[in-house]
Chains A and B, each alone.
Chain A
Amino acid sequence: MASVFGAAVKRREDPRLITGNGRYTDDIQLPGMLYAAILRSPYAHARIRSIHVEKARQLPGVVAVFTGSDVAGKVGPIPTAWLPPNSGIKTPAHPPLAVDKVRYVGDGVAMVVAESRYIARDALDLIEVDYEVLPVVVDPEKAMAEGAPLVHDDVPGNVAFHWEAGGDPAPAFEQAEVVIRHRFRQQRLVPNPMEPRAAVAQYNAGSGDMTLWVTSQNPHIHRVLLSNILGIPEHKLRIVAVDVGGGFGCKIPCYADEALVAFAARELGRPVKWTEDRREHFLATTHGRDEVIDAELAGKRDGTMLGLRVRMVANMGAYLSTAAPGVPTILFGLITVGPYKIPYAHTEVYGVFTNTTPTDAYRGAGRPEATYVIERMADLFAKEIGMDPVEVRKKNLIPAEEFPYTTPLGLQYDSGNYHGALQKALDMLDYDRLRKEQEQLRAQGRYIGIGWSTYVEICGLGPSQVAGAVGFQGGLWESATVRVHPGGKVTVFTGTSPHGQGEETTFAQIVADRFGIPIEDVEVVHGDTDRIAMGWGTYGSRTTPVGGNAIAIAADRVLEKARKIAAHMLEVAEDDVEFTGGMFKVKGVPGRQVKFQDVVLQAYLAWNLPPGVEPGLEAQAFYDPVNFCYPFGAHACVTEVDPETGEIKILRYVAVDDCGPVINPMIVEGQVHGGVVQGIGQALWEGAVYDDEGQLVTGSFMDYAMPKARFFPKFETAHTVTPAPHNPLGVKGIGETGTIAATPAVVNSVVDALRPFGVTDLEMPLTPEKIWKITHGREAR
């Protein structure tokens, strides 16, 4: 049998999902179920003078209306679970419903529970809230200025935290022949999974058990947090998140809404459902990015990078969402040097409160911003010293023989062959020929650009000891149970919580490969705290490198025991048994063998087990990685700009990624495609815009441009394989690389295309009018 590890097996979850047989939270219907709707603030900053809910309560079909003061002391507060050390972090109380003040448009003010969604929605219009509108601040730098409105009265200057990493880079700047200084803006993005957030709660008053079906990337983390918020002990609280329609980070946080649904179900003794609508999603679900970054790069005229100084002001929104403080600090601030050998580096980050929707992780989370800054700086540096951007990269990429490589920011990059990936991308692109073609086309008045992004990312979160050291309020190991049933079929329980990434398939491949059994014989169970001991969920491209390795280890423990039983059955010493192709064989004696399934059956019958071996065949593993993983690669984007209208066309996109051994090339390619699309989305189209009153003016798909398939050419993808040396499978994460790499590749490409117009930088998103304003009435040189 050909190995299933490395095979492009079709996603096993797809038939279920595409035939409408998935079971998303909103699909759940329970007898007697009620529906909740949440009244949200129309103002970005206002004092609540009074709330009158009587008319809403009197609407036929309304069962209950709860305000902030009704739930105070019974629900919440909503916690922040990543507290970077030595940052002076302030976590002002985050009530589940606003009590005295609303702090952003979308802030919850009251919850209606009714017999139908329609009645609940109608009742919202009957609630009368008297607001005293207060001055608003939406820009994080303005929020830090003297005299700015305070989002939280007890947080002076609106500074939520101030964090630093690295040493003093002054020596680099003293030696520098060239210093590049530049300011970058990372516009705010709105994560938009196809499925909005939803929750269904059912409380059993007899047993005191609460079940909460919820759109979560990490149900066990939600259990820990909601247990505290609701005062329900963990063994009485079951969180279920099996089919989740995408998350991209916005389903990591613990929100007030889901807690309120559980509270209402307990209070009213009936199941309660709440499903966010898309408009609500734009306002009330966490956003991503939104930072201003000042960078300084010290270098020599021969192209050597010497030092990097980065200062970021990050817009955290009105409250610190669950994992939010970790994003601009640990996930951005520690990897600003990218794949380059830069001896000195320092990062400084201010996290700032504003009257906007809270930000948190969004695919890539911090790493896209870091990659953007260093990749744009690399191009600016190249231009300044008159070098080809590829040559600058080649000169500074960390050489393959220097791994593991410790950066000046304290990370140890595990393994890499950065030059190898770059060379492969150069070959695929036929770079030298393309540069010549570019020159020829310019002469004809056509503007083609070639943009590069060589990246490394930190993922596979992560070693728990490090998690603690960087202020993550949890572990980052992962659990797996591999249970072999008497008939030889296998159930795998994982503490990760895939929600579109395809691990029901890839995890089955890992186990099928190890046991030499058909993939159909393996079932992967995830997303239910009653079925899975413990786990930390799916984010930070950790599912396969951490959860997958936990499964491999558990599977090997099963095999270890099976081998003992097989040796006993074959009447030889354990050392004389080898396991290949699903068969335990006596070495050197062809034909003396026993099938995996027969050994399994004996383990359960237990009629004749070797001494000291217990019946049954299952194993559990709690795998705590010794390091993060550092996938890397080289992406190149070729664009053409129409100088007459400013429209940008993507002509080619080449992605060479290295995530170690590939378990399923089709799924990996899918992850790269999706990631690249989202990365390009930031470069060209997406951008959440607030007006000065704190109103989100891009609050629907009519204004907020999501990438669409027709915007793209066929992507050209390839891989190099450099295993992670510290985990059994050697795998690295691939879920975010596309998003991390793509954005600067596109911007570098468009800037390159417009070089004849004297362009050195462009602010994202690169909307056509911005380009037109540059090219209009200007002669190319």
Chain B
Amino acid sequence: MIEGVVVVAAVLVVATIFGLWHRRRDGAVRTMGDGGDERPALVGADLGVELGARATLVQFSSAFCQPCRAVRGRLAHVADQVDGVRHVEIDAERNLDLVRRLGIVKTPTTLVLDGAGRIVARASGVPSLDDVHAALPAT
């Protein structure tokens, strides 16, 4: 009985701390600075599509991932609104080699590629529309 109460209290406290921490950083867009990520640039063949002339928004999703749907809508909207921007959604589970190469650990994760396929920004979770726009490389 007492042990049970202690376990419940401990779980709720730890989960609350994790939940608050996660809420704060979910969707935050990290830009890679000049020259982009140290990883080699992606080419269209890695993704199975042509890269966008200005930017490609690469979204890693999984079938059971609830927030992936919101990200899909948001990124598709940006690709629709901005010339030269493409949105590509990749099933992370079926592309584990690519996932490993890019250091993707959870879904949804979004990479922003410039026209040359270099990773210029990444975000896990649901990024805001404004942040996605701000992360697009200049034309």
Q: Do A and B interact with each other, yes or no?
A: no
Q: CB within 8 Å of A: which residues of B?
A: none
